[in-house]
Chains A and B, each alone.
Chain A
């Protein structure tokens, strides 16, 4: 079952790479985070680790529901460009993505020997890290870049869950806090009413 959701995680990320619409991209991101949350819940029940269960629930609430919702409302508030055409053409992406996957799978091979359980998932999370980097690189617009950054966070989280059987609770909550802070900063960055402010002074 865990394998299935890991598959869904990577699948949703790859599909996001081909997406040309912002809202659909956000949906894929939400789906990606949802599978991540379910994974945390599944592995948490398997390990009988309460901290990871909490992490899973928080992931689903914040990343799968909260952040996509906020980003969508930002996009309406600040009138984002919603047609996001990747800079890399599809025919090259078809070749590039498998190449990245093969590369990362072999790159992760020596690492997977050293991790006792869930060694495959480490390879998948490293390759999803690279794919989110690709997502950031292949777009010129800022909104998909943010989504790329957020999915990078997701893949690091997956790595944290699988490679180490969960990080300490404090650290994970701290990462969530930083994520919320990132959203606040992004909101402020989109605000461009300064000229009025200057004139008011």
Chain B
């Protein structure tokens, strides 16, 4: 139980660090002077001390929604596969629950955007709805198919099973699921081919458009939520698709896990530097690939057993 709590706390603490790491790595790759990798914490503390202003046009939703955006994600943190062998984990939560919790959070984010009563908020919400409508089926299919390969529908149990017995005989469908999940990771977290987290340009914004009106504590909460979301996706990816290093002793296993998380962050950063953001109406192409691969993974597993 202690390990369980510790890992969750460590992951939560790590969350802002990962996003700042991506940012500074990108700057370094572009030959700019990188920001500190602790910038995330600094922003957080600065936002906490700032005054919180709520627009007069908004309803009560704006005051509740930030918490409702963060809380499903925090709940999801408790359902992730374990990091260390022997740690406590929740075994029965399946693909639908996890996807549902994440989309609940997205739902409140969209409400928040609509409630701000600015043109940008509505635009951002509609775009977000468009993207997440494409993401969710693929997400369910992918996680489901990996769970099938692991022999258990529960995501936590699946992570344990995969670590104990890597599905060498199902390498092809495993690969398809991996590709699909990585695309989803990019899309759900608003990384570059889908959305650019750094600009405030009305043509390209998705995530930023929805939170344009927020200030102070609320903004801090939403920023935290988005970093937690990245950690959730990255650790799901790591424990489902790179399930090694699980059997080591506790401190080493956690260290390996964190190293893998940074590895994922590094790949994301390199991808972001090398690709241009897609036009919004090209996004379905990318997500279509994700859906096709998710489905392909499932049928390859079922029909061919490969």
Contact = CB atoms under 8 A, between A and B. Distances in A.
B231 interface: no
Contact of A4 (B171, B285, B295): B171
Given A3-B168, A20-B285, A105-B299, A97 B173 contact: no
Interface string A1-45: 111101110110011001010000000000000000000000000
B284 A90 contact: yes
A97 B292 contact: yes
B92 to A, nearest CB: 29
A98 B295 contact: yes
Interface in A116-172: 120-121, 123-124
A199 interface: no
Interface in B231-272: none
A20 B281 CA distance: 13
Contacts of B173: 7
Given A11-B293, A101-B299, A106-B303, A90 B171 contact: no
B172 to A, nearest CB: 4
Interface in A62-108: 90-91, 93-94, 97-98, 101-102, 105-106
A124 B292 contact: no
A48 interface: no
B175 interface: yes
A1 B295 contact: no
Contact of B289 (A3, A14, A124): A14
Prevailing SS type, chain A contact patch: helix
Q: Pick the most buried of A11, A14, A124: most chain B CB atoms within 10 A of its CB.
A: A11
Determine the main DSSP class of B at the interface with A.
Answer: helix
A18 B175 contact: no
Contacts of A91: 284, 288
B151 to A, nearest CB: 18
Contact of B299 (A20, A102, A120): A102
Contacts of A4: 171-172, 175
B140 to A, nearest CB: 15
Chain B interface size, as a band, is 20 to 34
A11 B176 contact: yes
Contacts of B295: 98, 101
A97 B294 CA distance: 12
A7 B292 contact: no
A3 B296 contact: no
B54 interface: no
A49 interface: no
Contacts of A1: 171
24 contacts: A3-B168, A3-B171, A3-B172, A3-B175, A4-B172, A7-B173, A8-B175, A10-B176, A11-B175, A11-B179, A14-B292, A18-B289, A90-B284, A98-B296, A98-B299, A101-B296, A102-B303, A105-B304, A112-B304, A120-B172, A120-B304, A121-B306, A123-B303, A124-B300
Interface of A: 1-4, 6-8, 10-11, 14-15, 18, 20, 90-91, 93-94, 97-98, 101-102, 105-106, 109, 112, 120-121, 123-124
Interface of B: 168-176, 179, 282, 284-286, 288-289, 291-293, 295-296, 299-300, 303-306
